[in-house]
Amino acid sequence: MRLIIMGPPGVGKGAKSKLLIKQYQIPHISTGDIFRELFSGDYEIGKIAKSYVDRGALVPDDITNEIVRQRLNQADVQKGFLFDGYPRNIEQAEALEQFMKDKGWKIDAVFNVQADDNILVKRISGRRVCKTCGAVYHIENNKPKVEGICDLDGGKLIQRVDDREETISHRIKIYQQQTKPVISWYEDKNLLVHIDGSKDINHTNEQIMKVLGEIN
Ligand code: AMP
Ligand code: ZN
Query: How far is the C-alpha of 188 from the C-alpha of 133, rounded, in Å?
Result: 38
pLDDT in tens, 105-124: 999 999 999 888 788 888 89
User: What ligand is nearest to the CA atom of residue 55?
Assistant: 1
Task: Please provide residue 117's backbone torsions phi and psi, each rounded to the nearest 5 degrees.
Answer: -55, -40
Distance of CA 132 to the CA centre of its chain: 19
Catalytic residues: 13, 88, 127, 160, 171
Burial class (CB in 10 A: 0-12, 13-18, 19+), 140: exposed
pLDDT of residue 216: 57
Question: Does domain 2-115+165-215 fall into CATH 3.40.50.620?
Answer: no
Nearest CA to ligand 1 atom 9: 53
Secondary structure class of 140 (helix, strand, coil): coil
83 lines ligand 1 (CB under 6 A): no
Domain residue ranges of the chain, discontinuous segments joined by +:
2-115+165-215
pLDDT of residue 153: 97
pLDDT of residue 204: 75
204-211: long-range contacts (C-beta < 8 A, 24 or more apart)?
204/12, 204/16, 204/113, 205/16, 205/19, 208/16, 208/19, 208/20, 208/111, 209/19, 209/23, 211/109, 211/111
205 lines ligand 1 (CB under 6 A): no
pLDDT of residue 165: 86
pLDDT of residue 66: 96
pLDDT of residue 215: 65
pLDDT of residue 203: 76
pLDDT of residue 59: 97
Judged by phi (left if over 0) then psi (alpha if -120 to 50, else beta), residue 45 lies in alpha
Distance of CA 107 from the midpoint of ligand 1 (Å): 20
**Ranges under pLDDT 70 in the chain:** 201, 215-216
